[in-house]
Homo-oligomer: A and B are copies of this chain.
Amino acid sequence: MSTAGDVLALVTDPRLVEERRGQIVRAAVKLFSEEGYYTTTIQQIAKAAGVSTGLIYQYFRDKDDILFLTLKLVLDTYEHDIPPQLEGIEHPVERLCMAVWAYCKIVDGLLDATVLAYRSTKSLRADRRALIKDAETRTNNLFEECIATCTRGGHMREVNADLLSYQLVMFAHSWALKHWSLGQRYALAEYVDEGIKILVEPFLTAKGRRALDAMRQRTGSFGSRGTKAARPRAAKKRTR
Interface residues, chain A, CB within 8 Å of chain B?
Answer: 36-39, 115, 118-120, 122-123, 133, 137, 158-164, 166-167, 170-171, 174, 177-178, 180-182, 185, 191, 194-195, 197-199, 202-203, 237-240
CA distance A195 to B166 in the complex (A): 11
Check B180 against A133 for contact (C-beta < 8 Å): yes
Closest to A148 in B: B240
Assuming the contacts A181-B137, A203-B202, asked whether A167 and B171 have C-beta atoms less than 8 A apart, the reply is yes
Closest to A182 in B: B166
Main DSSP-derived SS at the A contact region: helix
Assuming the contacts A119-B122, A203-B202, asked whether A238 and B160 have C-beta atoms less than 8 A apart, the reply is yes
Closest to A158 in B: B239
Chain B residues near A174: list those with CB within 8 A. 166-167, 170
- Residue in B115, B158, B197 whose CB lies within 8 Å of A122: B115
Chain B residues near A120: list those with CB within 8 A. 119
Chain B residues near A36: list those with CB within 8 A. 122-123
Check B123 against A177 for contact (C-beta < 8 Å): no
Check A237 against B199 for contact (C-beta < 8 Å): no
Q: What are 28 residue pairs bridging A and B, where the CB atoms are less than 8 Å apart in the complex? A: A36-B123, A37-B38, A38-B38, A39-B123, A118-B119, A119-B122, A133-B181, A137-B181, A158-B239, A159-B239, A160-B194, A160-B238, A161-B239, A162-B185, A162-B239, A163-B191, A163-B194, A163-B195, A163-B198, A166-B178, A166-B182, A167-B170, A167-B171, A167-B198, A167-B199, A170-B171, A170-B174, A198-B199
CA distance A174 to B174 in the complex (A): 11
